[in-house]
Amino acid sequence: MEARPHLVGLGRDELTELFAGLGEPRYRADQVFRGLYERRLRSFDEMTDLPKALRERLAAETDVSVLEVESKFVSVDGTRRYLMRTRDGYPVETVFIPTESRDTICFSSQSGCPLKCDFCLTAKLGLLRNLTAGEIIEQIIVVLNDVYGIGGETPHGTNLVAMGEGEPFLNFENLIKALEIMADEKGLHIVPGRVTVSTAGIVPKIYEFAKLERRPNLAISLSAASDPLRDRLMPINRKWPIEDLMAAAREFEKTLKRGERFTFEYVLLGGVNDSDRQAGELADLIERHGLRKVKINLIPHNPAEQLDYRPSDPEQVRRFKEILESRGISAYVRTPRGRDIYAACGQLAAKHEPNLVQIAG
């Protein structure tokens, strides 16, 4: 059976074409576009500016929502983790991270992940499937509505990070389509400058990403400055080793405008990649390739029973950061959020345990 059209995930032109096929005027498509994205409505019954007969036809032939919130967990620090399911039963996880100055939604681009990074719990799932553009966008709508109410204004805007389950650049077309739709000023209006896409190092896609006219920010997960160690921690390095990755980073840096930077993410693993010597090797790598518009995001490892790693000692985290800064490299330490509910970086694996604080979705 052919899948019904999922209206979330369709841009204005696609909606116009769909409504023309239904014999409806363009302004009806515009009404639905605003209903889906600006008002963040989750059912046709809520679109009361449409005739009842049209609402009934749309409900019979198309879908507004295809994700179901299976559970929601709330951390002691206010972070929320949402475990959703697709229509075909695959898990999708999304995290809301509030701070005083901004709110961030960490969304998934795939269900599971194929890359097998050794320090990441999501890798244990393997790749289940790519998410559609609509499933990517619907995650954002679900979270915004839960936090602020349906159509409610966000107090200081929303930042998005493609750092949930999956490798975004292995679902490139759906990711970019979703981001373009969300940037529309008549919809969610989340502009590219408020979005960061994180990749483990899919080198050809970094070059492609660099050519985009309206482009989000880029973060590259590095976590080692030598091929032998990165081969072990991040097997994708065996396909695109560090020298190839640095060449792509140099080309990307050339496209940055004044004041723009990109990020290397470095997960600190106690006794594995956090020594003073390794901090120096990281600085050497950046200097050797002449990278000037880069910052280093140091991420203390978030532990999980299934992972044979421990977080770095806080004093060593401080030393690692100071060594980089002494070499003129901008570095900052990410504050772990949501560890107690398996919402932190590297912990997303559809955890659904009775000892977690669960709130009905």
State whether 24 and 78 are in the same domain.
no
The full DSSP string for 226-263 is SHHHHHHH-GGGGTS-HHHHHHHHHHHHHTPPTT--EE
113 as an active site residue: the answer is: no
Query: So what's the pLDDT on residue 125?
Result: 80
State whether 87 and 130 are in the same domain.
yes
State whether 113 and 32 are in the same domain.
no
State whether 30 and 159 are in the same domain.
no
Q: How many domains does the chain have?
A: 2
265 as an active site residue: the answer is: no
State whether 339 and 308 are in the same domain.
yes
- Other Cβ atoms less than 10 A from the Cβ of 149: the count is 10
Does residue 245 belong to any structural domain of this protein? yes
Beta-bridged to residue 268, according to DSSP, are 300
Does residue 304 belong to any structural domain of this protein? yes
Does residue 257 belong to any structural domain of this protein? yes
pLDDT at 342 over 70: no
Q: Which residue has the tokens 């990711």?
A: 175
- The pairing of strands 80-85 and 127-130 is unpaired
With beta carbons less than 8 A apart as the criterion, state whether 110 and 170 touch. yes
Which candidate in 106, 113, 120, 345 is catalytic? 345
pLDDT at 356 over 50: no
The region of weakest confidence among 11-25, 264-278, 297-311 is: 297-311
Name residue 197's amino acid: V
CA distance 166 to 91: 12
Does residue 220 belong to any structural domain of this protein? yes
Structure tokens that stand for 98 in this block: 């509030």
Does residue 143 belong to any structural domain of this protein? yes
State whether 37 and 103 are in the same domain.
no
Query: So what's the pLDDT on residue 31?
Result: 97
CATH at residue 42: 1.10.150.530
207 Rama sector, left if φ>0, alpha if ψ -120 to 50, beta otherwise: alpha
Checking 45-50 for CB contacts under 8 A at 24+ apart, the result is 46/150
Which residues are within 8 A (CB) of 32 and not within 5 positions of it... i.e. 6 or more apart?
7, 15, 19, 47, 50, 58
Which candidate in 93, 138, 253, 265 is catalytic? 93
State whether 31 and 159 are in the same domain.
no
- Other Cβ atoms less than 10 A from the Cβ of 230: the count is 21
Query: What pLDDT digit, counting tens, does each position of 66-117 carry?
Result: 999 999 999 888 899 999 999 999 999 999 998 888 899 999 999 989 999 9
CA distance 218 to 249: 10
Does residue 6 belong to any structural domain of this protein? no
State whether 122 and 34 are in the same domain.
no
State whether 126 and 248 are in the same domain.
yes
Domain edge (last residue) among 36, 61, 86? 61
State whether 176 and 252 are in the same domain.
yes
State whether 75 and 54 are in the same domain.
no
Residue range(s) defining the domain that contains residue 299 = 68-359
State whether 79 and 47 are in the same domain.
no
